[in-house]
Amino acid sequence: MSASAFITITRPHNAVVAGLTALIGYLIATGTLTPPSLLLAVVVALTTAGGNVINDVFDVEIDRINRPKRPIPAGEISLAGAKAYTAALFAGGLLVATLTTTLCLAIALINSVILIAYAVRLKRTPLLGNVAVAYLTASVFLFGGAFAGVEGLVQNLSLAAITFLATIAREVLKDAEDVDGDAAGGARTLPMIAGVRRTGAFAFACACSAVLVSLLPFGDWWGPFYLAGIAVVDIVILFGASRGLSCTTPGCVRDSRATSILRAGMFAALAVFAVAAVI
């Protein structure tokens, strides 16, 4: 087994970015960063890495065809070794989480269970897989806020809700882009059941809900900068989702770049909340 493969299989860039996002969540909740808050990044990075490895474990047969250079199908890590590594990463994340707060530990435990359930079953379940991804993405902000207590978690509810709804929109549109490949692989996704046009309408409804949530007076956000900044974010999110509204084919959704625009909107929302927290 290759030592470098144990890094590659965790998708380290993804895990590190997730960890840094937890720190931003704490910054948004409190307006500052403290040395103990670095524990948040470690917990999220380890847990995310564990989720990435267990995904490779359960996708090994697919990866033998689609991604033969991934560590397990390439023979750089054995299946048994990857399973043990997964357990170690999740255990490490939970162990570090015991040094944070009870609320953070509870979120870390729940998310670990959902990551395992996603790899085992949820990713192959229409819509539930999308909801799981959306929750896990949004919960990083709740986790960061929870380090400051219930008040910090509540402070981050608006951003978490926007992220959750916009991520669902983006995930179902990504599935719409991949209908042909998913059908060949035997998957069942929302666009395959409801059709691409109805999926686009559902994504747009989720985006509209994200916009409505962004205007609710959660926490202490309301002010000139927030309202101006979030207006731009809302326009980007609505524009992105609207791009998929008229599509009836996967190729149309891909050409619309709706998922890329929605991702840009979510990054913009994060920037608005982070700046609003420190000014």
Q: Which pLDDT value is given to residue 252?
A: 93
Question: pTM score, two decimals?
Answer: 0.91
Q: Rounded to whole angstroms, how far apart are CA atoms 126 and 231?
A: 32
- Tokens linked to 158: 């608006």
Residue type, 254: R
Q: What is the pLDDT of residues 208-264, one digit of tens each?
A: 999 999 888 665 666 788 888 999 999 999 999 999 998 999 999 999 999 999 999
Q: What is the pLDDT of residues 147-187, one digit of tens each?
A: 999 999 999 999 999 999 999 999 999 989 888 766 665 66
Q: Is the pLDDT reported for residue 134 higher than 80?
A: yes
| pLDDT above 90: percentage of residues in the chain | 70
Burial 183-212 (b: 16+ CB within 10 A, else e): eeeebebbbbebebbebbbbbbebbbbbbe
Helical H segments across 121-242, by residue range: 128-146, 150-155, 157-177, 179-184, 190-194, 196-214, 224-242
Q: What is the pLDDT of residues 193-205, one digit of tens each?
A: 999 999 999 999 9
Q: What is the pLDDT of residues 50-80, one digit of tens each?
A: 999 999 898 887 777 767 888 888 788 888 9
CB-count burial class (<10 Å; 0-12, 13-18, 19+) for 102: exposed
What is the helix (H) or strand (E) element at residue 113, kind and residue range? helix 102-120
